[in-house]
Amino acid sequence: MSRWLTILPLVVLAALAALFGLYGLHHDPKVQPHAMVGKPMPDLALPALEDGRPARLRELTASGPVVVNFFASWCAPCEVEAPQLNALSVKGVRIVGVAYKDKPPKTQAFLARLGDPYVARLSDLDGRAGVEFGVTGVPETYLIGRDGTILSKHTGPLEADDVKALAQQAR
């Protein structure tokens, strides 16, 4: 019996390795969940970064499509994405920035250093809004239609081609 107890951890480890190996071979790592696309945007009120006053995301779509960008000062890909967001803003696209699990002073310093393309800057300190949107990590960008429907989702830093596509969709 004691001999089996010494071999049991090796058997369990081998079984787990086989299980994860088979999963990895049949799992596409590029698949990104887009469960919220085509559904209404969560009706949330988040504090404004500047003064903490609550702002309703749904009200920001009343005058047309808006891009909602989840970002953070601690996120290296968000720094890479910053020039693309600035370019999108120059094209006249309205962008709402949601600082995801980030302290307001750090977020403000981040925007001062890299540029501020946002028409509204909101804070999601506890990550609740990110959960409601289905954020899997930052940066993530959502295109919201005038009616509040999530039209598209982009995971990871935006690139030049993404900016062109978002600008066309946001018209």
Q: What is the pLDDT along the chain (171 residues), one digit of tens a residue?
A: 677 778 888 888 888 787 777 766 766 555 556 778 999 999 999 999 999 999 999 898 888 999 999 999 999 999 999 999 999 999 999 999 999 999 999 999 999 999 999 999 999 999 999 999 999 999 999 999 999 999 999 999 999 999 999 999 888
Residue 5, in any domain of the structure = no
Cα(75)–Cα(40) distance, integer angstroms: 27
Residue 11, in any domain of the structure = no
- pTM given for the model: 0.81
Number of domains in the chain: 1
Look at strands 54-56 and 120-124 and give their pairing: unpaired
Domain hosting residue 84, numbered range: 45-169
Residue 7, in any domain of the structure = no
Residue 61, in any domain of the structure = yes
- State the alpha helices, DSSP H only, in 40-98: 57-60, 76-90
Residue 37, in any domain of the structure = no
Residue 51, in any domain of the structure = yes
Cα(26)–Cα(150) distance, integer angstroms: 30
- From the list 134, 132, 74, 69, the residue with the least C-alpha distance to 101 is 74
Residue 107 tokens read as 């977020």
Residue 31, in any domain of the structure = no
Residue 2, in any domain of the structure = no
Assign residue 57 the CATH number of its domain: 3.40.30.10
First-to-last CA distance in the chain? 72
Cα(105)–Cα(78) distance, integer angstroms: 17
